[in-house]
Amino acid sequence: MCGIIGYLGTRTAAPLLLEGLAKLEYRGYDSAGVAILERHDEAPTTHRVRAAGKIAHLVTALEASPTNGTHGIGHTRWATHGGPTQDNAHPHFSEGVSVVHNGIIENHAALRARLLEDGFEFKSETDTEVIAHLIAQALKSHSRLHEAVQASVAQMQGAWALCVISERHPEEIVVARHASPLLIGLHDAETSGHATPEVFVASDVSAILNHTRSVLDLNDGDVATLTIKGAKITDVDLRQVTRRTRRITWNAVAAEKQGYKHFMLKEIHEQPKAIRDTILGHVDGDNIFSKRNFPLPSPHGRVILLACGTSWHAALCGKILIEQLARVPAEVDLASEFRYRQPVIREGDIAIAVSQSGETADTLAAIREAGRLGAKTLSICNVVDSSIARMTGDVIYTHAGPEISVASTKAFTTQLVALSLFSVWLAGRTSSDNGEDEGARDERERALLTTIRNLPSTIESVLEHRERIQRIARRYAQYRDMLYLGRGLGYPVALEGALKLKEISYMHAEGYASGEMKHGPIALIDETMPVVVIATEGPGYEKVISNLEEVRSRGGRVIAVATMGDTQIEQLAEDVIFVPPAHPMLQPIIASVPLQLLAYYIADQRGTDVDQPRNLAKSVTVE
């Protein structure tokens, strides 16, 4: 999750920018940089300093190359396009224009090709450098920086929060926002202790809280010119508008969490954006993984998914999706067990490592062993240039940004999105081999892509019901045990729901395939055993209803996750959490969100350390 900071005033900018970047450090990053305008007797010049790694490296670089400029921008980068190197670090520069950017430019490849034809030279692998060149090009026909930024964003597709300075416009900062957070900090002498007018810009209020508590929120499509006199804003229709100013009352710790009580709750609510960024990173129009040539299994080859913990649950869903959509055999292995059982790898097999951090020791060892035995390798990972990403031949990044909470939420749902996209992509390349009608395949792909594109708004609607889920959680917070049941794609969801509850509330919980209940777990059910049932519409729904009846007949208290409009379920379950209807193959993504909230609110009610549960680490980097 990248961070943006900008300052324009009379104070020396570098210390303020570094302080802001340090406040954004909790978000995670792999490089940092600043661009500061210096004004001497001659025309303004840009003093740009960047460094890979921690902010301390940037501090050292600035000490070696100091500046007293009072107008600048800074950035902490979480790599999406290109590795975590100094060349890829922001700000990016073109003909006097410096840009920092959060988000993903979906059509960056097409824009890069056109700019190369126009004579621009690229020095990084990033999508952001495209923006710097676009603005520099636009300034050849627009005298105002504001207009040049407007003209540039009109050519862009995707998500962005931009902060731009120009040597030709030394008295202003221009910012733009679309589907990525950005706010303006107005002059606040009471907080800063400085009477001279100044203005800040940041992606997160924590970066500027020591200097102003008066902030102005931008809407999607806004472009704003900031001077020490204030902000001039135009909306997506190029009309001049005003935006609401608010007073921040949070303390510094709460500001890092953006007002949420815990990082986990914040990250649950970040899932629509994380999923949107993952989609934008891999879908261009109706094309998935444009210009990517991932390895294909041979006609007799398999897909072998290797993962641990939450990622293993995502892989279980991936197996079903790959087999149902692409008709390719798929297996799922616990990475911690894989290399100890002398696995059989056949020619033409593909091994896929699934990992949030890309550093999980067991998964790293397993994918290394699969490659050694002859499998082609691929990874699904959230961290650019992590060990697993470097080891595999290809990688699909999930673009979830960093997770601070130990319990994984947005990393899980973005892994499911990545696996869904891979399954559709693979189906398009194997269907001719299995005799599937091309028209039927294309229609199915379009239906799935439509649902995938709608996932961010669908999950936003699920999050609107959090208060109902919180009330349900209060009724079950003091129980000792809980059982989770699901069938088909609902089974991995049940496993993940039970894991979340165990991790953060310390309640005993188990996930089972619904059909396995009669093979043992049914003996546990009585009035003291709440049972969470994944009962969304789709294949196996009637079977799940039968399992639910069996629970009720033994006195079990049923909490059902069901599809909106299902009137039958309310007669059978004590509590129902409704989710919007969606393509059955994508229901796991949607059904997982209320279970995350249920676990969170139960844990919060029990008073446990939600973000740092006992005995657990975020990344397991030793066996």
User: How many CB atoms are located within 10 Å of the residue 237 CB?
Assistant: 7
Catalytic residue selected from 266, 381, 518, 618: 618
Give me the pLDDT at residue 622, please. Answer: 46
**% residues pLDDT > 90 (the chain):** 71
Give the confidence band of 431 by pLDDT, cuts at 50, 70, 90: low
Kindly indicate the confidence band of residue 290, based on its pLDDT and cuts at 50, 70 and 90: confident
| CB neighbour class for 567 (10 Å; exposed up to 12, middle 13-18, buried from 19) | exposed
Residue 129: CB partners within 8 Å, gap ≥ 6?
Answer: 92, 94, 122, 123
Long-range contacts, 447-453 (Cβ 8 Å, 24+): 447/583, 448/325, 448/420, 448/424, 448/583, 448/585, 448/586, 449/283, 449/286, 449/288, 449/424, 451/582, 451/583, 451/586, 452/279, 452/283, 452/417, 452/420, 452/421, 452/586, 453/279, 453/283
The reply to whether 2 belongs to the active site is yes
pLDDT in tens, 301-343: 999 999 999 999 999 999 999 999 999 999 999 999 998 989 9
CA angle 400, 402, 403 (to 5 degrees): 95
**Given pLDDT bands bounded at 50, 70 and 90, which one contains residue 445?**
confident
Q: What pLDDT digit, counting tens, does each position of 474-531 carry? A: 999 999 999 999 999 999 999 999 999 999 999 999 999 988 888 888 888 888 889 9
What is the C-alpha separation between 555 and 549, in angstroms, rounded?
10
Do the beta carbons of residue 191 and residue 249 sit within 8 Å? no
Instruction: For residue 615, give every residue at least 6 positions away whose Cβ sits within 8 Å of its Cβ, in sequence order, or none.
Output: none
Q: Are 175 and 184 in contact (CB under 8 A)?
A: yes
Find the catalytic residue in 2, 308, 317, 381. 2
pLDDT tens-digit series, residues 580-603: 999 999 999 999 999 999 999 999
Task: Give the length of the chain.
Answer: 623
Query: Would you state the structure tokens that stand for residue 237, as one six-digit string?
Result: 């229709």
Q: Taking residues 10-39, report their average pLDDT.
A: 90
Instruction: Tell me the per-residue pLDDT of 462-482, one tens digit each, with 9 for 90 and over.
Output: 999 999 999 999 999 999 999
- Whether 618 is catalytic is yes
3-state secondary structure of 15: helix
Residue 63 has pLDDT above 60, yes or no: yes
Give the whole-number percent of the chain exceeding pLDDT 70. Answer: 96
- Angle made by CA atoms 503, 504, 510, in degrees to the nearest 5: 45
CB 353 within 8 A of CB 386: no
**Mean pLDDT, residues 419-432:** 88
Mutual orientation of helices 438-463 and 587-606 as an angle, nearest 10°?
Answer: 20
pLDDT score at 371? 95
Which domains are present in the chain? 3-256 (3.60.20.10), 266-460 (3.40.50.10490), 465-606 (3.40.50.10490)
Judged by average pLDDT, the poorest of 115-119, 222-226, 443-447, 562-566 is 443-447
Query: How many whole angstroms from its chain centre is CA 78?
Result: 11
Q: Is the pLDDT of residue 57 over 50?
A: yes
Greatest C-alpha distance within the chain:
86
Q: What are phi and psi of 223, to 5 degrees?
A: -125, 135
Torsion, Cα of 204, 206, 211, 217 (10° steps):
30
The secondary structure element, H or E, covering residue 369 is helix 361-372
pLDDT at 618: 63
Q: Per-residue pLDDT tens for 349-405? A: 999 999 998 888 899 999 999 999 999 999 999 987 788 988 997 999 999 987 889
